[in-house]
Amino acid sequence: MLPIPFNRAAVTGREVEYVTRAIAEGPIHGDGPFTKACHEWLERLTGSPKALLTTSCTHALEMTALLLDLQPGDEVIVPPFTFVSTVNAVVLRGALPVFVDIRPDTLNIDETRIEAAITPRTRAILLVHYAGVACAIDAILDIAARHGLIVVEDNAHGLFGAYKGRPLGTFGSFATLSFHDTKNLSCGEGGALMINDPQYVERAEIIREKGTNRTRFYRGQVDKYTWCDIGSSYLPSDILAAYLLAQLESHAQIQSRRHAIWARYAASLAPWAEAAGVRLPVVPDGCDHPAHIFHLLMPSLEARTALLAHLRERRILAVFHYLPLHLSDMGRRLGGVEGQCPVTEDVSDRLVRLPLFFQLTDADQDRVIDAVRAWR
Ligand SMILES: Cc1ncc(COP(=O)(O)O)c(C=O)c1O
């Protein structure tokens, strides 16, 4: 019996052809023709006015922190149930992440707890749409407007997700995307910064190009480029963009397969889940999810440990997800204590993600479903 991995990056056929073309035709530095094509695709797919490919979502988040001019002493509201990069971007500027617990249903930041965490030093609310299921955006935008805060969407999971018909990543001043190989579309390592507020575009281009106006120079808008601001090298080679373009062009095929797998898990596991006291993903009305994650919330840590071992014995790799950031070594150094975010602490002990990837066959998915249903 062959092992079933948790994830395998989608490959749809034209990746090698485009990479070969990028190399043959050049240039292969950043912002070549394939990067421009990816920008157009991302702008068209999301409706965001400006896309900039980056070397990762982590780097897009770092660019966001630079664009916000976060300073030591500033505070940014974040959920503790997220990847470290969401929070590192804030800490790298010397600012303080203020953890607000998540909702037990969607596992997104609990909008009813945000206002109590706002202080005169709060600058922004950094959201994560877990599994690409939208946060309570209307309520959060309202809080942000009343307190003069900027909203940023870490949309690493949520490309193709929507809230009331509008794509995720178009609600905040900025949104970040990930094309890491665990994501629905990937180029191995990659990301994008989506800019919805046009006042930030010029500075974003400068920060991404080592603090220079080289992007304007390439467009013929200045006759030489020079050092204008702080910055770093956040743009990927056109070789990676070529790979990503093949994936963007095949997004309908990838998404359709992922949705079929997600829906099959949901339908096949519902009776078992009910009998075993397991909760399946909650997708509230008005949210279109992108079939990024299919998770189970087990009744206890012991049940989670037992299920993962049970699946491993059957050569199926299922995995848990984020550990509470406020209880990590770094989080504790920033003042995190047990009991601070009880929903996160509880959920992170009980969550299991099942294999979900483009190439997963029906037969392999049947093996996963049968194995899960054979537990208890
Ligand atoms: C919510 C979230 N933000 C950011 C990232 C970082 O993405 P990348 O690996 O593209 O830097 C991840 C990675 O999985 C993530 O889950």
Q: How far apart are CA 196 and CA 166, in angstroms?
A: 13
Q: Edge to edge, what strands does the sheet with 166-167 contain? A: 166-167, 162-163, 287-288
83 within ligand 1 shell (Cβ under 6 A) = yes
Ligand 1 centre to CA of 153 (Å) is: 12
Ligand 1 centre to CA of 17 (Å) is: 27
- The residues facing 193 across adjacent strands are 52, 176
321 within ligand 1 shell (Cβ under 6 A) = no
Q: Which residue's CA lies nearest to atom 14 of ligand 1? A: 83
180 within ligand 1 shell (Cβ under 6 A) = yes
Q: Which two tokens stand for residue 26?
A: 């050049």
> Can you give the pLDDT at residue 375?
94
82 within ligand 1 shell (Cβ under 6 A) = yes
Show the DSSP H helices in the chain as ranges. 15-25, 33-46, 57-67, 84-92, 114-117, 137-147, 201-208, 214-218, 238-249, 251-276, 301-313, 329-333, 342-350, 362-373
111 within ligand 1 shell (Cβ under 6 A) = no
Tell me the CA distances in angstroms from 275 to 74, 280, 298, 359, 365, one per residue in order.
Answer: 48, 12, 12, 30, 21
Among residues 292, 229, 263, 219, which one has the least CA distance to residue 31? 219
Q: How far apart are CA 320 and CA 332, in angstroms?
A: 22
Our mutation pick for probing the ligand 1 site, out of 108, 178, 320, 348, counting the most ligand atoms within 8 A of Cβ, is 178
Q: How far apart are CA 280 and CA 30, in angstroms?
A: 42
> Can you give the pLDDT at residue 376?
79
Q: Which residue's CA lies nearest to atom 9 of ligand 1? A: 180
> Can you give the pLDDT at residue 1?
86
> Can you give the pLDDT at residue 286?
97
- The residues facing 162 across adjacent strands are 167, 288
Ligand 1 centre to CA of 182 (Å) is: 9
Q: How far apart are CA 131 and CA 259, in angstroms?
A: 13
Q: For this structure, is 210 an active site residue?
A: no
Chain-centroid distance of CA 346 in Å reads: 22
The tens-digit pLDDT sequence of the chain (376 residues) is 899 999 999 999 899 999 999 999 999 999 999 999 999 999 999 999 999 999 999 999 999 999 999 999 999 999 999 999 999 999 999 999 999 999 999 999 999 999 999 999 999 999 999 999 999 999 999 999 999 999 999 999 999 999 999 999 999 999 999 999 999 999 999 999 999 999 999 999 999 999 999 999 999 999 999 999 999 999 999 999 999 999 999 999 999 999 999 999 999 999 999 999 999 999 999 999 999 999 999 999 999 999 999 999 999 999 999 999 999 999 999 999 999 999 999 999 999 999 999 999 999 999 999 999 999 7
Q: How far apart are CA 54 and CA 178, in angstroms?
A: 9
Q: How far apart are CA 39 and CA 192, in angstroms?
A: 9
Ligand 1 centre to CA of 183 (Å) is: 9
Among residues 358, 318, 13, 4, which one has the least CA distance to residue 184? 358
